């Protein structure tokens, strides 16, 4: 008996930040060994996969999504095409991508779009793949795609694709300050290598004290352990980020850091009221394009709408 498939599936998928990003030596495969703690935030991109009478997968970008790649390099499109090829799917799909996560901002926006496309097309085409199967496929597309699928707060090992859930208490309130410019992740890693060329880069490790603070819900302690090994590289490429981070600390942030490879910066607020004050104050510095409030942890890519 044929099971009716949906005519469209809508998926929300979260931005990520790294509460701790420890970067190890460059590996033979061109990646760096990482020890990281990811957290998913309620700043989301949305992908709708619509059944198409044709056999191809096509992409539309919703207005206001920023400068997103439209062609074959778009990670959502790559993800859907990879799924179709691997599982010999005959049907096509029209993907509609609507973004609010900054493009090339260090928040894994492209990777989370790939996660959303995998979840949407898995349902649209009735493949019934499990999260782990989608995750394995996602890791072929980018190191952060598996976390976009899982969400929450998680330890990331290897190049970031090997995940272990982390226990946390409470909701963390962040101010996310977006930048006027973008940074290329490979260029930031290359700068990290140049800055560290004269020393042996040790194997990275997440401090146990950070994990304990997350478990206790001690946000003040979490603020002191926020750390990003890519920060010095990002600041050397965008020196104004240092001023923005300093401003956040002056306005009472519990911690401040560059997110991932930057240039987005994130600030841990004491509570929602403080987040509001911090966001207004940071916007007023003129050092960022926008300052938005976001909370975490939230789940990974999930279906929010489906139509028969």
Q: Which residues here bind ligand C5P, judged by CB under 6 A?
A: 30-32, 34, 142-144, 159-160, 185-186, 189
Contact between 132 and 96 (Cβ < 8 Å) = no
Residue from 12, 16, 113, 229 carrying the catalytic annotation: 16
Q: Minimal distance in Å, beta carbon 306 to ligand C5P?
A: 29
CA-wise closest residue to 284 among 254, 256, 261, 250? 250
Q: Which long-range contacts (CB under 8 A, 24 or more apart) does 81-90 make?
A: 81/57, 82/137, 82/140, 82/141, 83/117, 83/118, 83/121, 83/122, 83/125, 83/127, 83/137, 84/57, 84/121, 84/125, 86/137, 87/125, 87/127, 87/129, 89/121, 89/125, 89/127, 90/55
Q: What gap in Å lies between CA 271 and CA 302, rounded to an integer?
A: 27
Q: What gap in Å lies between CA 174 and CA 187, rounded to an integer?
A: 26
> Is the CB of 154 or the CB of 244 nearer to ligand C5P?
154
> Is the CB of 142 or the CB of 300 nearer to ligand C5P?
142
Residue from 45, 113, 144, 229 carrying the catalytic annotation: 144
> Is the CB of 113 or the CB of 269 nearer to ligand C5P?
113
> Which bin fits 64, alpha (ψ -120 to 50), beta or left (φ > 0)?
left
> Is the CB of 73 or the CB of 198 nearer to ligand C5P?
73
Catalytic residue status for 16: yes
> Is the CB of 10 or the CB of 142 nearer to ligand C5P?
142
Q: Minimal distance in Å, beta carbon 245 to ligand C5P?
A: 22
CA-wise closest residue to 267 among 294, 289, 231, 240? 294
C-alpha of 115 from chain center? 10
Q: Which token pair is 283?
A: 């916007």
Q: Minimal distance in Å, beta carbon 7 to ligand C5P?
A: 32
Contact between 290 and 202 (Cβ < 8 Å) = no
> Is the CB of 21 or the CB of 211 nearer to ligand C5P?
21
Q: Minimal distance in Å, beta carbon 73 to ligand C5P?
A: 11
Q: Minimal distance in Å, beta carbon 35 to ligand C5P?
A: 10
Q: Which residues is 290 bridged to in the sheet?
A: 178
Q: Which residues is 41 bridged to in the sheet?
A: 15
Catalytic residue status for 52: no
Sign of CA dihedral 31, 12, 228, 170: negative
Q: What gap in Å lies between CA 2 and CA 242, rounded to an integer?
A: 59
Q: Minimal distance in Å, beta carbon 269 to ligand C5P?
A: 28
Enzyme catalytic residues: 16, 144
């Amino acid at each position: 008996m044929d099971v009716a498939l949906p005519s469209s599936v809508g998926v929300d998928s979260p931005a990520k930040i790294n509460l701790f990003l420890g970067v190890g030596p460059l590996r033979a495969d061109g990646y760096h060994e990482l020890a990281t703690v990811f957290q998913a935030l309620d700043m989301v991109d949305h992908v709708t996969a619509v059944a198409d009478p044709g056999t191809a997968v096509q992409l539309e970008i919703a207005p206001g999504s920023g400068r997103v790649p439209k062609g074959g390099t778009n990670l959502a499109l790559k993800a859907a095409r990879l799924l179709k090829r691997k599982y010999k799917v005959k049907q096509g799909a029209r993907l509609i991508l609507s973004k609010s996560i900054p493009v090339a901002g260090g928040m894994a926006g492209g990777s989370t779009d790939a996660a959303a496309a995998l979840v949407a097309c898995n349902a649209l085409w009735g493949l019934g793949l499990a999260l782990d199967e989608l995750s394995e496929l996602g890791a072929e597309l980018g190191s952060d795609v598996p976390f976009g699928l899982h969400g929450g707060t998680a330890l990331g090992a290897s190049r970031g694709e090997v995940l272990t859930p982390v226990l946390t208490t409470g909701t963390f309130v962040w101010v996310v300050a977006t930048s006027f410019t973008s940074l290329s992740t490979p260029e930031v890693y290359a700068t990290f290598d140049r800055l560290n060329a004269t020393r042996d880069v040790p194997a990275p490790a997440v401090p146990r004290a950070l994990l304990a603070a997350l478990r206790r819900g001690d946000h003040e302690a979490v603020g002191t352990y926020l750390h990003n090994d890519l920060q010095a590289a990002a600041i050397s490429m965008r020196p104004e980020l240092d001023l923005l981070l300093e401003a956040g600390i002056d306005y009472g942030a519990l911690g401040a850091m560059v997110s991932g490879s930057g240039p987005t910066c994130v600030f841990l607020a004491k509570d929602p009221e403080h987040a509001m004050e911090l966001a207004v104050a940071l916007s007023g510095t003129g050092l960022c394009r926008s300052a938005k409030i976001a909370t975490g942890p939230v789940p990974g890519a999930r279906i929010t709408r489906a139509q028969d």
